[in-house]
């Protein structure tokens, strides 16, 4: 199975900060990567798919980049609604896998 | 409105069985791949199983292979997960998720609210 490693696992930041989360794949997955946001007690919500395509309705402060084995999710200016957990997911293989998650906390 | 509503969770003893259901509405259910994704208490997301649209090919995580069976009834717009030989480590919130396309190799654009499965004696 393809392993997905996210870093950091926890991130403390302030409103207005630029935030970057990294996801590394154990083998090349081309651009077959999605990012999700999850708030406590709620289902995940897709933010980005195919590494850099913003889903409909997602604010433009979110962006994704990368290909192959290294990917990033960037929030250009952190807003109060963005404090949540974020997960990457690869879909290059038929055995789908998620990263371990990054919790973005208020500094 | 596109919606997924899970049901069937509950408390079950180790070794027991449970069947989860996911009722879909607001989209052409038969066309899209569907998956089950779970989240153990305080942990991250784990993909469990998927079934393709049209071909209905099925796929499983190694952790549940041979114990869980995914199926879909396109006439009822419903996804199922039959879970047998349940273990304590299967305790989790189980989410039903819709794929972007027919193939299971995709991201998930719609999620249900989740149903909780607790395996304990």
Residues of A in contact with B111 (CB under 8 A): 43-45
Specify the pLDDT at position B54: 80
Nearest chain A alpha carbon to B51:
A94
B104 contacts A94? CB cut-off 8 A: yes
Nearest chain B alpha carbon to A85:
B44
By three-state DSSP, how is residue A97 classified?
strand
> In angstroms, rounded to a whole number, what is the distance separating the alpha carbons of residues A3 and B16?
30
Q: How far is B26 from chain A (nearest CA, A)?
A: 17
Specify the pLDDT at position A72: 98
pLDDT in tens, A59-107: 999 999 999 999 999 999 999 999 999 999 999 999 999 999 999 998 8
Residues of B in contact with A93 (CB under 8 A): 105
User: Does residue A44 surpass a pLDDT of 90?
Assistant: yes
* Peptide bond connecting A8 to the previous residue in cis, omega within 30 degrees of 0: yes
Instruction: Give the closest residue to B61 by CA, choosing from B81, B88, B31.
Output: B81
Residues of B in contact with A49 (CB under 8 A): 100, 106-107, 109
Residues of A in contact with B113 (CB under 8 A): 43
Q: Name B43's Cβ contacts closer than 8 Å, sequence gap at least 6.
A: B92
pLDDT in tens, A21-32: 999 999 999 999
- The H-or-E segment that residue A41 falls in is none
A99 contacts B105? CB cut-off 8 A: no
């Amino acid at each position: 199975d393809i392993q997905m490693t996210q870093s950091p696992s926890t991130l403390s930041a302030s409103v207005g900060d630029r935030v970057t989360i990294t996801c590394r794949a154990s083998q090349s997955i081309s651009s077959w990567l999605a990012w999700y946001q999850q708030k406590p007690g709620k289902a995940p919500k897709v933010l980005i798919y195919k590494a850099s395509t913003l889903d409909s309705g997602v604010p433009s402060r979110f962006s994704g980049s990368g290909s192959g084995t290294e990917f990033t999710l960037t929030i250009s200016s952190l807003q109060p609604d963005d404090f949540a957990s974020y997960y990457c997911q690869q879909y290059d293989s038929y055995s789908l896998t998620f990263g371990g998650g990054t919790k973005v906390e208020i500094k | 409105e596109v919606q997924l509503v899970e049901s069937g969770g509950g408390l079950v003893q180790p070794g027991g069985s449970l069947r989860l259901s996911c009722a879909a509405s607001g989209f052409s259910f038969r066309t899209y791949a569907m998956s089950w994704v779970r989240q153990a208490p305080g942990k991250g997301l784990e993909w469990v199983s998927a079934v393709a649209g049209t071909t209905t090919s099925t796929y499983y995580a190694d952790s549940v292979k041979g114990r869980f069976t995914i199926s879909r009834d396109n006439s009822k717009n419903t996804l199922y997960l039959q879970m047998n030989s349940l273990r304590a480590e299967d305790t989790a919130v189980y989410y039903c998720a819709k794929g972007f396309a027919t193939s299971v190799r995709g991201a998930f654009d719609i999620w249900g609210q989740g149903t909780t499965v607790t395996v304990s004696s």
